[in-house]
Structure 1
Amino acid sequence: MTNKVVVLGSLNVDTTLHIAQMPKPGETISAQSKTNSAGGKGANQAVAAVRSGADTSFIGQVGDDELGGFMVDALNGNGINTEKISKISEEGTGSAVILLDEAGQNCIMVYGGANQAIKPAMADECEDLIASADILISQFETPQDVTLRAFEIAKKHGVTTILNPAPATEIIDGLLAVTDLIVPNETESATLTGITVDDTESMDNNAAKFSEMGIDNLIITVGDRGAYYHTKNDSGFVKAFKVKAVDTTAAGDTFIGAFSSQVKKDLSNVEEALVYAQKASSITVQRAGALPSIPTSKEIAAEYK
């Protein structure tokens, strides 16, 4: 069965500056090279989903500019339904500047632009599309009130909702009540719960805190260590596949998109879907760029026979 995935999220043109090491405060350094590519958490997750076989649609917004056309073309080129991407003239298309060092670590500065100008009414305009989905994903690079409205619509129609709270910020009232699964990384989880993530006990404590906050289903990604999961029925840890990282930019987004392509609506196969997602992200980190680095299901199958 093919999952039908809808992503509500951000569309950013990424400019990556390749550097030897991260600059210190006040330091001026030279970039070794510069690359431009399509990105944004929403776009990355949608491409990861469609490349792993999901029937994928996108809800988002771009500026009435050249970058906006570039982003829509990039999604269309991957076979993603872009009919619900709107265009505005008041804001420019979202963009990001990424500093990427030789160890494969990055720092990212984001201009929200049109992404941040989305209104909750857009969710209502997309009700038929949301209702037709198996999975609806959103992040925090678009306004939370839009996600809240979209998730409310999703729950009305029995659609499973996945929230990626990145970048981490205080969650608005009501959002967790309509979220089926929350997927932060360890830093984001600690920001939201106030509990540092460093071992299994602390992950269990984070899960307990999230339960207090109103959500029982949790995945915490912990980089090259793997991913912790906790549901109403089970919990555990899936180790990452050991590879040499070149660029970690889209690793987390690849993980979520690939996961959404495999997970069942009732989350009954979380561990199996996690293993697949780890395989996908392990390939992503070995390549440069955001969208260009995301593997297809055939590439994942070939790498992990």
Structure 2
Amino acid sequence: MNPVAGRVAVFGSLNMDLVVRLARFPSPGETVAGQGFATVPGGKGANQAAACARLGVATALVGRVGDDPHGEALLSALRGSGVDVSGVARTPGVPTGTAHIQVTAGGENTIVVVPGANHALDDTDLERLERALEGAAVLMLQLELPLPQVLAAARRAAARGVPVLLDPAPAQPLPDELWALCTLVTPNEHEAEVLTGLSVATAAEVRAAADAMRARGAREVIVKRGARGADWTDGETWLHVPAHRVEAVDTVAAGDAFGGGVAAALASGLTRAQALAWGAATAAVAVTRPGAQTSLPTRAEMLRMLEAGAGASPGGHN
């Protein structure tokens, strides 16, 4: 492995996760007993920034929190992970974003996000992003911020020649311009179906969906397939990385961990196959532990998982 030397900029959400553990999800109108409660730092932008920083890559996050205890706790946790949070603004009179999460004993989850300060962005946030983009090797974007700001951020990165990595979650229709600005789009199976209207149950269907996303303008696509691994293509080459065999405890931050691993590897000048392997190993460690940012591995933990598991291979088989 090459030494980590790149830098990642992240423009994204910060949420305090309010996590309830329960045996099973309630049916509509039903009350069930919870088995535990915790507040855990989260938000897709913050999670991905923390994932990159813990893997040893210099990482700067731009976003917003409220002027409240949740906001201070989120900033403190990110600093502890090594993230540069000088680009995160405190917004008086607006609560910090929250995510209300239910996690079953089997590790499945449901999430309701209340955006709060994440939706209080203005042009000053984009000005802070400009500073974060100086010398950046990649910009990570997600869709928990308002779409106009996400598009504006992608424009700024493209103008500087900084590759844009978009995690299209939560899934929603995207304008053609945003597709065209993306170097790499990383949906999971559900998001790929929403974005393309196509099933992704088989390897052939994954290829068709990836081709459809590339036809919209994305240069490269990774489809994250959970226990079935992940597939990457640039339209000519296909790579598949199998998932590591681990006992899942909590899948809340699996996608963010995967994206952080990919971005950290790419910012470090590694190959696409190595980036897939970093993503799979980072996610594999994360799902074995509870919480969002609390589950993210260090570089040493990721490398141990990487050495124990399988790497990327040609093809895209289930």
TM-score by length of 2: 0.92
Query: Is 1:155 aligned with 2:195?
Result: no
**Cα deviation per residue 1:244-289 (whole Å; 9 max; x = unaligned)?**
10100101100001111101588x7112111111111111111011
Letter in structure 2 aligned against 1:282 = A
Structure 1 residue aligned with 2:227, among 219, 224, 227?
A: 224
- The whole-number CA distance in structure 2 between the counterparts of 1:250 and 1:232 is 28
Letter in structure 1 aligned against 2:139 = L
Query: Is 1:66 aligned with 2:69?
Result: yes
Equivalent residue number for residue 44 of structure 2: 41
Equivalent residue number for residue 92 of structure 1: 95
Equivalent residue number for residue 271 of structure 1: 273
Equivalent residue number for residue 296 of structure 2: 294
Letter in structure 2 aligned against 1:275 = A
Tell me, what secondary structure is at the counterpart of 1:32? strand
- The whole-number CA distance in structure 2 between the counterparts of 1:4 and 1:174 is 25
Equivalent residue number for residue 122 of structure 1: 125
**Alpha-carbon offset, residue 131 of structure 1:** 2.9
Q: Where do residues 1-305 of structure 1 align in structure 2 (5 Å cutoff)?
A: 1-263=4-266, 269-305=271-307
**Cα deviation per residue 1:164-220 (whole Å; 9 max; x = unaligned)?**
110001113411121111011000010010001111111111122112211131001
- The whole-number CA distance in structure 2 between the counterparts of 1:197 and 1:303 is 27
**Any conservation in 2 of the 1:53–1:297 contact (CA below 8 Å)?**
yes
**Alpha-carbon offset, residue 128 of structure 1:** 2.6
**Cα deviation per residue 1:74-128 (whole Å; 9 max; x = unaligned)?**
1111111111101112421000111000100000111001001212442134313
User: Would you identify which runs of 4 or more consecutive aligned residues in structure 1 move more than 2 Å?
Assistant: 301-305
Letter in structure 2 aligned against 1:129 = A
Tell me, what secondary structure is at the counterpart of 2:177? coil
Aligned CA distance change for structure 1 residues 12 and 141 (closer, same or farther; 3 Å): same
**Cα deviation per residue 1:129-160 (whole Å; 9 max; x = unaligned)?**
21321010010001121121111111121111
Letter in structure 2 aligned against 1:45 = Q
Gaps of 5+ in 2: 308-318
**Any conservation in 2 of the 1:62–1:94 contact (CA below 8 Å)?**
yes
**Any conservation in 2 of the 1:144–1:172 contact (CA below 8 Å)?**
no
Tell me, what secondary structure is at the counterpart of 2:34? coil
TM-score by length of 1: 0.96
Tell me, what secondary structure is at the counterpart of 1:38? strand
Tell me, what secondary structure is at the counterpart of 2:222? strand
Gaps of 5+ in 1: none
- The whole-number CA distance in structure 2 between the counterparts of 1:74 and 1:233 is 41
- The whole-number CA distance in structure 1 between the counterparts of 2:128 and 2:87 is 9
- Once the two structures are aligned, what percentage of the paired residues are identical? 35
Q: Count the aligned residue pairs.
A: 304
- The whole-number CA distance in structure 1 between the counterparts of 2:282 and 2:128 is 33
Aligned CA distance change for structure 1 residues 134 and 40 (closer, same or farther; 3 Å): same
- The whole-number CA distance in structure 1 between the counterparts of 2:268 and 2:202 is 29
Letter in structure 1 aligned against 2:100 = V
- The whole-number CA distance in structure 2 between the counterparts of 1:120 and 1:147 is 12
Query: RMSD in angstroms over aligned alpha carbons?
Result: 1.5
Aligned CA distance change for structure 1 residues 168 and 120 (closer, same or farther; 3 Å): farther
**Alpha-carbon offset, residue 52 of structure 1:** 0.8
**Any conservation in 1 of the 2:91–2:117 contact (CA below 8 Å)?**
yes
- The whole-number CA distance in structure 2 between the counterparts of 1:119 and 1:192 is 27
**Any conservation in 2 of the 1:207–1:216 contact (CA below 8 Å)?**
no
Letter in structure 2 aligned against 1:241 = H
